[in-house]
Chains A and B, each alone.
Chain A
């Protein structure tokens, strides 16, 4: 087992809905090793998305401890968590979340610009990553001039631009046709192999989940099944 990149201890997350309290995540213990590609499945309402939000520091748990790359999220300020997310974690979303007024190159360079990297350096890095995801020809295209699959490639390039050791993907193929979706998953698989990145992907698509090395199934806020489905033991 390699070093854990994420550790959850007795993590719960509750939401208030009217007069009732909903426990979306219920006492989850989990450890994810560096270099693992983990797929999280479950029906809607199973707590899989909340689990991803809590794991990635987007939401604080109601109780329990989340450790991300050796740091205890519960002991960090919002600003510290934001910086950790910006510099060390890549995010990929179902609806790509690209800025519509920026070109592909500018979208990819954005995280570096926000981190005050010099423009020339940021763009050189962004250019190289657009090449990696096979979109060199689209550098100056805006999102509405690209297909869904291309937009998701741009989003992956953006997620990778700060060389994060950890990627979170929330239904990355949910808005793509099956062949484009497959290409995105192959790309993620390649990134995991070449850059030794850890990937945590939430999906309701069993075909997408099959690309992971480990499958976690959530039900009623708890981990129902957690098992290795492939890859070499980390």
Chain B
């Protein structure tokens, strides 16, 4: 960042030890503004812990894999209930914009968990489809 002129060394700052103090330059602020407005391109990781277990389990023991789907579903439902409690609590003390950020986070957590649940349903359909095929 120093080389790119985004920050500059603050010469006068004295902290006693070897730490250095930098300040953001105008170019740095401009770059930060651009960064804020640029959508991140890295995809969300797909291979989560459930996926790893399911992938290994389904060929060794189909029933165990189906049971894992059931118990995982219950856990996701409990997590969603917990997130919803936070949401209900938030709705009772609605004061924008302070709570808006928290509301957005809860929305994200709920919708991602909902997607996880839908994925489990689809896994089940595919695994059961394999039983009769």
Chain B residue, CB-CB nearest to A41: B77
Please name all residues of chain A whose beta carbon is closer than 8 Å to the beta carbon of B111 when the two chains form the complex: 207
Binding site secondary structure of chain A: mixed
Contact segment of A127-135, A164-172, A224-232: A224-232
Contact segment of A19-27, A79-87, A208-216: A208-216
CB neighbors of A among B7-63 (8 A): none
Q: How large is the interface on B (under 10, 10 to 19, 20 to 34, 35 or more residues)?
A: 20 to 34
Q: Does A124 touch B at the CB level, under 8 Å?
A: no
CB neighbors of B among A137-160 (8 A): none
CB neighbors of A among B46-97 (8 A): 70, 73-74, 76-78, 80-85, 87-88, 91
Query: Residues 190-234 of chain A: 1 if any B CB is under 8 Å from the residue's CB, otherwise 0?
Result: 000000000000000011011110010100000011010110000
- Report yes or no: A186 in contact with B88, Cβ–Cβ below 8 A: yes
Query: Which among A189, A207, A227 is the interface contact of B74 at CB below 8 angstroms?
Result: A227
- Report yes or no: A207 in contact with B81, Cβ–Cβ below 8 A: no
Q: Does B117 touch A at the CB level, under 8 Å?
A: yes
* A182 CA / B84 CA spacing, docked (Å): 10
Query: Which among A43, A189, A209 is the interface contact of B77 at CB below 8 angstroms?
Result: A209
- Report yes or no: B70 in contact with A225, Cβ–Cβ below 8 A: yes
Q: How large is the interface on A (under 10, 10 to 19, 20 to 34, 35 or more residues)?
A: 10 to 19
- Report yes or no: A206 in contact with B117, Cβ–Cβ below 8 A: yes
- Report yes or no: A210 in contact with B84, Cβ–Cβ below 8 A: yes
Most chain A Cβ neighbours within 10 Å, of B70, B80, B113: B80
- Report yes or no: A207 in contact with B80, Cβ–Cβ below 8 A: yes
Query: Which among A182, A225, A229 is the interface contact of B81 at CB below 8 angstroms?
Result: A229
Asked, given contacts A186-B91, A206-B80, whether A230 binds B117 with beta carbons under 8 Å apart, the answer is no
Most chain A Cβ neighbours within 10 Å, of B70, B81, B85: B81
- Report yes or no: B81 in contact with A210, Cβ–Cβ below 8 A: yes
- Report yes or no: A225 in contact with B74, Cβ–Cβ below 8 A: yes
CB distance from B99 to the nearest CB of A (A): 14
- Report yes or no: A207 in contact with B110, Cβ–Cβ below 8 A: yes
Please name all residues of chain B whose beta carbon is closer than 8 Å to the beta carbon of A209 when the two chains form the complex: 77, 80
Chain B residue, CB-CB nearest to A183: B91
Query: Which among A207, A215, A229, A230 is the interface contact of B114 at CB below 8 angstroms?
Result: A207
- Report yes or no: B70 in contact with A210, Cβ–Cβ below 8 A: no
Binding site for B on A (CB under 8 A): 43, 182, 186, 189, 206-207, 209-212, 215, 217, 224-225, 227, 229-230
4 residue pairs, one from A and one from B, having the closest CB atoms: A229-B81, A210-B84, A210-B80, A230-B81
Can you show 20 pairs from A to B with CB atoms below 8 A apart? A43-B121, A189-B88, A206-B80, A206-B114, A207-B80, A207-B84, A210-B77, A210-B83, A210-B84, A211-B88, A212-B81, A217-B73, A224-B70, A225-B73, A227-B74, A229-B77, A229-B81, A230-B81, A230-B82, A230-B85
8 more contacts with CB within 8 A, not counting A206-B113, A210-B77, are A186-B88, A189-B88, A206-B114, A207-B114, A210-B81, A227-B74, A230-B81, A230-B82
